[in-house]
Amino acid sequence: MVVNGVSNTKTCKLPVKEGLKVVRQKGWGEVKTISSEEKYVEKEEIETDVLVVGGGPAGLEAALTATSYGLNVVVVDEHFKLGGQLLKQTHKFFGNVELFGGMRGFQIAENYLKKLRNAPGIRILTETAVYGVFRGGVVGAVSENKHYVIKPRFLIAATGAQERFLEFPNNDLPGVIGAGGVQTIMNEFGVKPGEKALVVGSGNVGLIVSYQLLQAGVEVKAVVEILPEIGGWFVHAAKIRRYGIPILTRHTLRYVEGDMRVRKAVVAAVDEKFNYVPGTEKEFDADLVLLAIGLEPDTRLHAQAGAVMKYVPELGGIVPVRTRDLETTVVNMYVAGDSSGIEEATTAILEGRIAALSVASKSCDTSKASKALDEMEGILKFLWEEYRASPLLARARKGKETATVSREELRELRKTYPPPISFGDSV
C-alpha cells in the first residue's frame, strides 16, 4: 500500500493516526525523490555506552542488564511497541519461576516495559529502523521524521528472525500468510484472520498458532507435516489433538486455489524420499493457509558490518561466528537471541543477559566488572550444562556449538578477515 505517499508500506502493522492517507499500490511503487536542498528530516547525534538493536526478549534483557550496571543504553526497534515476538505470545512459557516460566509471552513483555520505564540511563526509540553500520563505529537509524546517528561503545544486535516462505502454485493469494503474521494480527491487534485454516508445519510455532486459532474461534482443518514425526514438543501437539485437530505427518501442501482469496487447499502424501504420491490428494475448504515452516536468523546488520559469518543449518541459516560470551569478529559488536541462531525465548533472554554482562565486565570499574564476570559464568553454566542439556534443544545446541569459537580463535579470525569497522575504544 501507499501510505502518505510512501510506497511499499506494510499497512498490516502500521498504527492508525489522524490524517493517514492509504492508497492501493499498483505495481512496484515509486520512490519519493526530494531535491538536495530540501531538508527531509531532522538529525540527531547520540553517544551511548550500549546500543541494543531489537526490542525482543534478547534485546530487552540485554538493555535491562546493562542499565543495572550503570551503563547508558539506547534501544531501537522497528515496531511501535517493544517486546518483539513476546507481544504476540498468549501461551504460558516453560522454564523456571526466576526466568518468567509460567507467565504468558505478552505478560513478560509488559514486565520488561515496566522495569525499563524506571531504569536509569535508558532511551527507547520505537518505530525506528537501523539501516546500517559504518566506519568509525557509527550506526544510522531513521524514524518517520528523524535521522539518528548513533555512536555506541558497544553494539548488541538482537535482530531476531524472519519467517520462511514456501513455493507452491497460487501462494500469492490473500489468505496465504506466515504463522507469525497471523499471531500479530490475531493476538496483538485482536483481528480474526479468517474462518477455516490449514496450518503447514508442525514445529512449535505451527502447533501453538493452531491452538491460538482455535481459541479465537477459527476452525483448524489440519496441521500438515512432511516428516514422519511431529516437529514440535508433544505437549503442544496434545493440546490441539484433544480438540480434534488432525496432524497429518508425511504430507505436503500441493497448491491452493481461489479467486480474490484462498478458498481451497490441496494436500498430498509423500513417500520416504519426500516425493509426492499421486492419487493421495486431500482437499480442504480453507480461507487461511498458514506457513509455519521455520525461521531464518536476521543477521543483515552483522553481515553488513563485516563480521565473519557461517552457514549453520541447525540454526536456520547464516549466523555470525561468536565467542561463548557472544562477541563477534567485529570488535565490541555482539549477537543475541534468534539472530545468533534460531532457538527459543528463554535462551534468547539468557543470551541477552550474557552479552550485556560481557559488556559490563569490559567497561565497568573493577569491582562491578568482576561481579558481572561471575554472574556471566553462572548463567553460561546454567545455559550450556543444564538448560541446553534437554534433548529437545539438542539440534539448536549443536548449531550453537558449531558457531562458537574460543577467544584465541576469534583473534585469529580477526587477523585473517579484519573487519572494516569496530566499536568503542578497546583493541
Partner 1 sequence: MSGYRFRETGVIELDELEKLGLLPPQERLKRGPVALLECPEKIPCNICVPYCPTKAIEMKSIIDLPVVDWNKCTGCGICVVVCPGLAAFVVDLSKEDADYVTVPHEFLPVPKRGDEVVLLNKKGERVGKGTVIRVWERNRTYAVTVRVPKGLGMEVRAIWVEKKQ
User: What's the closest the beta carbon of residue 350 comes to partner 1, in angstroms?
Assistant: 11
Q: Which x/- pattern, by CB under 8 A, does the window 313-332 give for partner 1?
A: --------------------
Number of residues that bind partner 1 (CB under 8 A): 41
Chain-centre distance for alpha carbon 319: 13
Q: In this structure, are residues 328 and 320 in contact, taking their beta carbons and an 8 Å threshold? A: yes
138 versus 227: smaller Cβ distance to partner 1: 227
Contact flag: residue 57 with partner 1 (CB under 8 A): no
128 versus 204: smaller Cβ distance to partner 1: 204
User: What's the closest the beta carbon of residue 219 comes to partner 1, in angstroms?
Assistant: 13
Q: What's the CA gap between 23 and 12, in Å, rounded?
A: 13
User: Which three three-digit cell numbers place residue 231?
Assistant: 516437529
**Of 33-41, 62-70, 242-250, 399-407: span binding partner 1 (CB under 8 A):** 242-250
Torsion of CA 59, 61, 67, 72, to 10 degrees: 0
State which of positions 61-100 bind partner 1 (CB under 8 A): 91-97
Q: What's the CA gap between 126 and 104, in Å, rounded?
A: 23
93 versus 284: smaller Cβ distance to partner 1: 93
Position of cell 541477552?
352
User: What's the closest the beta carbon of residue 69 comes to partner 1, in angstroms?
Assistant: 26
Q: Which x/- pattern, by CB under 8 A, does the window 208-227 give for partner 1?
A: ------xx------------
Contact flag: residue 396 with partner 1 (CB under 8 A): no
Q: CA gyration radius for the chain?
A: 23
157 versus 345: smaller Cβ distance to partner 1: 345
169 versus 246: smaller Cβ distance to partner 1: 246
Contact flag: residue 228 with partner 1 (CB under 8 A): yes
Q: In this structure, are residues 122 and 267 in contact, taking their beta carbons and an 8 Å threshold? A: no
Contact flag: residue 284 with partner 1 (CB under 8 A): no
What is the SS3 assignment for 22-48?
EECCCCCCCCCCCCCCCCCCEEEEEEE
Q: In this structure, are residues 348 and 336 in contact, taking their beta carbons and an 8 Å threshold? A: yes
User: What's the closest the beta carbon of residue 272 comes to partner 1, in angstroms?
Assistant: 13
From the list 122, 110, 104, 103, the residue with the least C-alpha distance to 64 is: 122
Neighbours of 335 (CB within 10 A): 30
Residues that bind partner 1 (CB under 8 A): 91-97, 101-104, 107, 214-215, 228-230, 233-245, 247, 249, 346, 386-393
